[in-house]
Amino acid sequence: MSHRSDIKSLIWGAILLLLAASVPLVANGYWMSIALTIAMFTVLATSWALFSGPTHYISLATAAFFGVGGYLVGTGMSDYDMGFWPMVAIAPIVGAVLAFLIGIATLRLSGVYFVIFTLGLAEMIRTLVSWIQNNFTGSRGLYVLTDLTEADIYIYLVILAAAVYLVGWWVNRSRLGFALRIIGNDETVARHVGINTATSKVILFTFSGFVAALVGALIAPRYTYIEPNGVFSPEISFIVVIMALLGGTGRLWGPIVGVIPFALLQEFINANYSNYSTLVMGIAFLVIVYFLPKGVVGRIEQALASRRRSTW
């Protein structure tokens, strides 16, 4: 039975992938830009949910890794005359190392300490990087000049998204995924059935750091001019969390359900009421906590399940 549903998901996945890849053929500049934003957040939110979904450890570190990726590309190309692609190869490794260090330091402790730590992380790295820039490297902003168009970057992100989905699909059917679900249900029980909870958590968290840094690196050419205040903006962390939770972290394809509408909403707000974007984020958090704790996907699945029960 599981074989058939496996093949079904793979076919669905391939169809959606083809649809996504064909967007540049039909989209004009404005919609292409939005599609790029959606692709970026899809990768970020899905890789975020791979760790934070089952374990319930809300990571706010996405902006830190994303910023590290973008910043490495910026400084590599501006200050050290490196090419774009070599930096794109280095960035996720640095992101992964950073995530690994943070993980082993904070994941042995309760979820609250982890959240708090990641809350200030992007801000702290930003001040550190600004300080280093001001006192040592001299330059304020970094230029990233490439031949890549938005459509090119979009395709790379779609490929990355496919890779993340594949990894997620594999993890969900593996012992590691099972371990994470158990950890999220009851960490004490997890330890008592032989799971090394720290290792499991660190592996997934390192992966999410790797991906976020890679996204930051890939999308750097879009902004052309990288500066610490922009690329380490904590907003990115919050938006990723909102999108993933809004869609629902119970399913691999849950986060994208949150990404698309919220990205469109953001676009609308920024265009017309940009003063209120922070307020909108606050309301989104409150809506999630009080009305959609399992996200839209979770709520729909709940409704379907109770419908099924009541037809007996």
Q: Which of 7, 11, 128, 264 binds another protein (CB under 8 A)?
A: 128
Q: Which of 49, 215, 284, 297 binds another protein (CB under 8 A)?
A: 284
- From the list 30-38, 107-115, 159-167, 252-260, the region that binds another protein by CB under 8 A is 107-115
Angle (deg, nearest 10), helices 197-223 and 150-172: 170
312 touches another protein by CB under 8 A: no
CA distance 267 to 277: 10
Alpha helices in the chain (DSSP H): 2-21, 23-26, 29-55, 62-79, 84-106, 111-132, 150-172, 175-185, 187-192, 197-223, 228-231, 235-247, 254-272, 277-291, 295-310
111 touches another protein by CB under 8 A: yes
CA distance 92 to 72: 10
Q: Which of 96, 182, 226, 256 binds another protein (CB under 8 A)?
A: 182
Q: Which of 149, 184, 225, 301 binds another protein (CB under 8 A)?
A: 184
Cα 156 versus chain centre, distance: 15
Q: Which of 178, 265, 267, 296 binds another protein (CB under 8 A)?
A: 178
171's tokens = 């993890």
Which of 253, 268, 283 minimizes the C-alpha distance to 8?
253
Residue 145 or 189 with smaller CB distance to another protein: 189
7 touches another protein by CB under 8 A: no
Q: Which of 234, 248, 255, 295 binds another protein (CB under 8 A)?
A: 234
CA distance 2 to 286: 38
CA distance 254 to 294: 10
Q: CB-hemisphere CA count at 13 Å for 196? A: 5
268 touches another protein by CB under 8 A: no
265 touches another protein by CB under 8 A: no
The number of residues that bind another protein (CB under 8 A) is: 61
Are the beta carbons of 60 and 241 closer than 8 angstroms? yes
**DSSP, residue by residue, 25-64:** HH--HHHHHHHHHHHHHHHHHHHHHHHHHHH------HHH
138 touches another protein by CB under 8 A: no
Q: Minimum CB separation from another protein for residue 239, in Å?
A: 11
279 touches another protein by CB under 8 A: yes
Q: Minimum CB separation from another protein for residue 244, in Å?
A: 12
123 touches another protein by CB under 8 A: yes
186 touches another protein by CB under 8 A: yes
Residues that bind another protein (CB under 8 A): 56, 58, 105-106, 108-113, 115-117, 119-121, 123-124, 127-128, 130-131, 134-135, 175, 178-179, 181-182, 184-186, 188-197, 234, 238, 245, 275-286, 288-290, 293
